[in-house]
């Protein structure tokens, strides 16, 4: 589909170093569970300074294993955000847990931590009746509040100090979805390293890619050993190939992917610097366009790792029309994100309606994700920005 566009939505940044590392794996007979996954995992214990890194075959798989390791059972409540990629909520639904959505901070798009605290207090004080959607939902027996699952939206870390404070105060586990924030920092600490568990993802549009892949990081020895077993069909240390201590999955990451990811990690600083430069090219040009709101970074606490470049159109501009015109002009642009509580299967399961998370819905309605990657050139950025200006002009006619 991208071939119909003049500029791709995203592109991996690959060199001969990646190509020869993958080719070298194919000179061996060790294609899974070999040395490459360990080497890839080591790059993450080094980056996060945590004890354990566990490679898996997607970010979603990583998040799912964290839900299992956190002991989240059917009916348990988990606080999370409706402004995310669906995977962060889906992993709760896989375990029949119940997402409790908290609306977002309009500046960053991350979970609004003041609202979050109020939601926790309400849940503990008035229990089920704090969930006003409950009577409309198919949920029969809501359980106890167990965890918080914040998302580092677009590469900007969630406001983790208030989240960790609340978690400590109320005895909650924190699973940090850092799938968009590899290399970002929150008060000098690496994104993904602040909660009980952190997860990264390596689909080809992410900051680094392994083709498909994900990585869990944690300091918890027992959970790490459990998650290593679960990714490998539930085989605990000491289990033979056909012995399975737990109900597990095949979430293993193969050696070709691991080799690719390992080389990409060795280039991380360079890849992030290139992405930042592309974001600056966009900022320079689009700051002159009155109808466009630029991404906002809370520079006092966070160091961004640019995953996507998402603009918002000011109220009154028809986003869908701009998106369509950009397409006609050969420029792909995406709505990003579509609110999770308005996805058909989530609405059906929990009875959510339009208007329940107004900040999320407003931001979502006005957002457009623009073509973005580390290999994008300044002239490509220029082409996209000219197309935006043209689309805005046509929208007025």
Residues of the shown chain interacting with ligand PLP in the complex, contacts defined by CB under 6 A: 58-60, 84-85, 87-88, 151, 177, 179-180, 201, 203, 214
Nearer to ligand PLP, 203 or 246 (CB): 203
Residue 203 Cβ vs ligand PLP, minimum distance, rounded to whole Å: 4
Residue 4 Cβ vs ligand PLP, minimum distance, rounded to whole Å: 24
Nearer to ligand PLP, 60 or 232 (CB): 60
Nearer to ligand PLP, 151 or 278 (CB): 151
Residue 85 Cβ vs ligand PLP, minimum distance, rounded to whole Å: 4
Give, to the nearest 10 degrees, the angle between helix 255-266 and helix 268-286. Answer: 60
* CA distance linking residue 295 with residue 311, whole number of Å: 6
Structure-block tokens of residue 260 = 């690719």
Closest residue to ligand PLP in the complex (CB): 59
Nearer to ligand PLP, 194 or 392 (CB): 194
Residue 49 Cβ vs ligand PLP, minimum distance, rounded to whole Å: 23
Residue 110 Cβ vs ligand PLP, minimum distance, rounded to whole Å: 11
Residue 228 Cβ vs ligand PLP, minimum distance, rounded to whole Å: 19
Residue 291 Cβ vs ligand PLP, minimum distance, rounded to whole Å: 27
User: Where on the phi/psi map is residue 377: left (φ > 0), alpha (ψ -120 to 50), or beta?
Assistant: beta
Nearer to ligand PLP, 207 or 325 (CB): 207
CB 88 within 8 A of CB 60: no
Nearer to ligand PLP, 134 or 268 (CB): 268
> In terms of Cα–Cα distance, which of 19, 315, 302 is closest to 154?
302
Residue 8 Cβ vs ligand PLP, minimum distance, rounded to whole Å: 18
Nearer to ligand PLP, 41 or 177 (CB): 177
**20 upstream amide cis, omega within 30 of 0:** no
Nearer to ligand PLP, 100 or 392 (CB): 100
């Amino acid at each position: 589909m991208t071939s119909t566009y003049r500029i791709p939505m995203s592109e991996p940044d690959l060199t001969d170093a990646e190509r020869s590392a993958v080719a070298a794996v194919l000179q061996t007979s060790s294609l899974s569970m070999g040395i490459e996954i360990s080497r890839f995992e080591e790059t993450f214990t080094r980056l996060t300074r945590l004890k354990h890194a566990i490679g898996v075959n997607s970010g979603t798989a990583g998040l799912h294993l964290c839900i299992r390791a956190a002991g989240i059972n059917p009916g348990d409540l988990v606080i999370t955000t409706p402004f995310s990629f669906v995977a962060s909520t889906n992993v709760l639904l896989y375990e029949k847990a119940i997402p409790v959505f908290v609306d977002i901070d309009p500046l960053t798009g991350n979970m609004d931590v003041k609202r979050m605290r109020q939601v926790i207090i309400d849940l503990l004080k008035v229990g089920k009746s704090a969930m006003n959607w409950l009577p409309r939902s198919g949920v029969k027996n809501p359980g106890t509040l167990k965890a918080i699952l914040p998302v580092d939206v677009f590469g900007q870390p969630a406001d983790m100090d208030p989240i960790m404070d609340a978690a400590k105060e109320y005895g909650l586990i924190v699973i940090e979805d850092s799938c968009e924030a590899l290399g970002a920092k929150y008060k000098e600490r690496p994104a993904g390293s602040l909660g009980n568990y952190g997860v990264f993802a390596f689909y080809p549009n992410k900051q680094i890619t392994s083709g498909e892949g994900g990585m869990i990081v944690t300091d918890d020895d027992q959970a790490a050993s459990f998650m290593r077993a679960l990714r490998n069909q539930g085989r605990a240390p000491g289990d033979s190939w056909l012995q399975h201590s737990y109900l597990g999955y095949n979430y293993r990451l193969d050696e070709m992917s691991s080799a690719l990811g390992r080389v990409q990690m060795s280039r991380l600083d360079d890849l992030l610097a290139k992405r930042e430069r592309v974001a600056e090219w966009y900022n320079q040009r689009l700051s002159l366009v009155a109808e466009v709101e630029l991404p906002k970074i809370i520079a006092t606490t966070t160091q961004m790792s640019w995953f996507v470049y998402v603009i918002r159109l000011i109220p009154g501009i028809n986003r869908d029309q701009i998106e369509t015109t950009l397409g006609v002009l050969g420029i792909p642009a995406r709505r990003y994100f579509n609110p999770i509580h308005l996805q058909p299967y989530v609405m059906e399961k929990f009875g959510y309606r339009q208007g329940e998370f107004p900040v999320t819905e407003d931001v979502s309605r006005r957002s457009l994700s623009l073509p973005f990657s580390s290999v994008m050139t300044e002239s490509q950025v220029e082409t996209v920005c000219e197309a935006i200006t043209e689309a805005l002009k046509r929208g007025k006619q």
